[in-house]
Structure 1
């Protein structure tokens, strides 16, 4: 076995092994509280059995012919499992688990009958039995896609971030096996196994990412339900003003809401809520007001710096941003503001006299 074959065997085998463990956990170990998880486990279990046997047959072709037929028999249930995964995911409590069990019982009876006929009559297994299995798989793939389209169209608000990746993954695996079975790609069994491994780990990353995002949304909702009291808001505002005046955090052009919240030892959501609800300002407006206020002081004190240099000094990262923000807050330009200050000086001097 060459090094390339060894690597192919390793990645295909480890994908099949992990898929088998995950499938066994979802089907037999995890309590049946969420029905779609059972069918997802069944999909993983049947594909893993097929993939594992395919890998072994590809690298050890002397195994008895009954072994690959067992792999095909497992693959027979992949399509129905996907179909009922789609249905149960959308229907939730309305899904009839009893009817699905009856359907799987009928499918098992059909598979057993077909297998018995092939054993009794001298028919070529590799050709007709595989065609029968792939034919059933094809029918259920189309039914699954159709059901997903119908359900998602009826209930657009239904969360489908878990359903769609599973459906797409199964379609990709199905197409990979169909194309490889035509002989266009010479490494039929091992190639399909490698596709399964890649799809499996890709879905694991997607699911972890979706769970992380869901947790973040739940955390945000948790804080959104807690309104900041007037007394607590007053303390936060005082602490915020002290930080801005003493440490001059606004001069940092890369200052972020999360950075300021960390300084205050509160969550970013709480700080955003404080600014929006209590001060009625966005984070950007609050910071820019401090920057423009100091820029005005520098202009009033006759700073020798150019206007754009003043903008950089007070925390802006570009000349255009400084000028546009100054115009927005002061309703004038830095030059006109300076001219207005110079024009007002003689009047004050005459009053002193």
Structure 2
């Protein structure tokens, strides 16, 4: 009896702590794309293992609980792929649509469950669906490993912008693989082994993380951490693209930490990127972007009054608008507009 209680406590506590860890990953700032995917991955694993604990100790539980667990299991592999892809591409140059695909897959899984519910189609869920989930999970594990190997070669010698190294990512993949193996071989061992493996992996990860944090002194923010040229180019391209597409410069409350969160990198890293690789401070960079936006409005036919131009470009006051414009262009906005219109008329 005591062994049964201990088994339930250890396996159930792992699932519960997984839910808590998932919430913490979403709460901890700044929240990077990789961090969101990791939170989703831990949540799906927690639901899957939680369902195992409930079913092991209460076999008469509603079949809908089993359906929820298997539905979560469908998403474990895709969440792992999303996590690795987000780590490879922290500036989201090629992964902007990944969350949409994830939501779409969730919709398909839920829709399948509504069309063919577990209680009415036991043979389907315990047969083809179960095997499809297991082998799809395995395929995602192999794909994630391949992505990690390729990315590690490309990122050799670089300092991670999101705090995650290839070792961290490899540990996540190995942990998910251990849980998969436990479930896949449950017929030879016990059904509860899957939940126990998740608890073991979760607690070992936390212990190792705390031990390494205690043993390793915090590095200086900029000491020996120059950003590689190709990584800086990609980050600056993502920054310029974000400004151009979403017009963040119009936000009069835009700050360095807020912009860094949108880029998925620490604020100190963004500051270093601008200073070392763009030779400008954040405030100067933002003023330049706003002046360029104002120039586009001033050169357009019927660009509007100066107050409208300043507001549309994100300047909080006319005095700031005039001083920033003169500092960047060496002239006033009105004089620049007149020169631009004269050049346009001469060209036509």
Give the TM interval when normalised to the shorter protein: 0.5 to 0.7
TM-score where L is the length of structure 2 = 0.57
Counterpart CA distance in 1 for 2:113 and 2:16 is: 27
Taking the TM superposition and a 5 Å limit, the aligned residue runs for 1:81-96 are 81-96=79-94
Residue 70 of structure 1, CA deviation = 0.6
* Alignment match, 1:238: none
Q: Deviations over 1:177-198 (max 9, x none)?
A: 1111xx111x21x111111101
- Secondary structure (helix, strand or coil) at the match of 1:98 reads coil
Residue 130 of structure 1, CA deviation = 1.7
Residue 76 of structure 1, CA deviation = 1.2
Q: Deviations over 1:71-125 (max 9, x none)?
A: 1111111111111111111221145453111211221233134324423985622
Residue 128 of structure 1, CA deviation = 2.4
Q: Deviations over 1:21-80 (max 9, x none)?
A: 1112223x3345322111111111111111112101100111111111111111111111
Taking the TM superposition and a 5 Å limit, the aligned residue runs for 1:1-353 are 2-27=1-26, 29-31=27-29, 33-119=31-117, 122=121, 124=123, 125-158=125-158, 159-180=165-186, 183-185=187-189, 187-188=190-191, 190-218=192-220
Counterpart CA distance in 1 for 2:92 and 2:216 is: 24
- Please list every run of 5 or more consecutive structure 2 residues that lacks an aligned counterpart in the other structure: 159-164, 225-348
Counterpart CA distance in 2 for 1:91 and 1:122 is: 41
Which is richer in helix?
1
Distance 1:165 1:207, change over 3 A: same
TM-score where L is the length of structure 1 = 0.56
CA contact (8 A) 1:176 1:195 kept: yes
CA contact (8 A) 1:82 1:144 kept: yes
Residue 213 of structure 1, CA deviation = 5.0
Counterpart CA distance in 2 for 1:51 and 1:73 is: 12
Counterpart CA distance in 2 for 1:25 and 1:211 is: 18
CA contact (8 A) 1:88 1:95 kept: no
- Name the count of aligned residue pairs: 216
Name segments (4+ residues, structure 1) moved above 6 Å: none
- Of the two structures, which has the highest relative contact order with CA contacts closer than 8 Å and spacing of 6 or more? 2
- Structure with the greater alpha carbon radius of gyration: 1
- Please list every run of 5 or more consecutive structure 1 residues that lacks an aligned counterpart in the other structure: 223-353
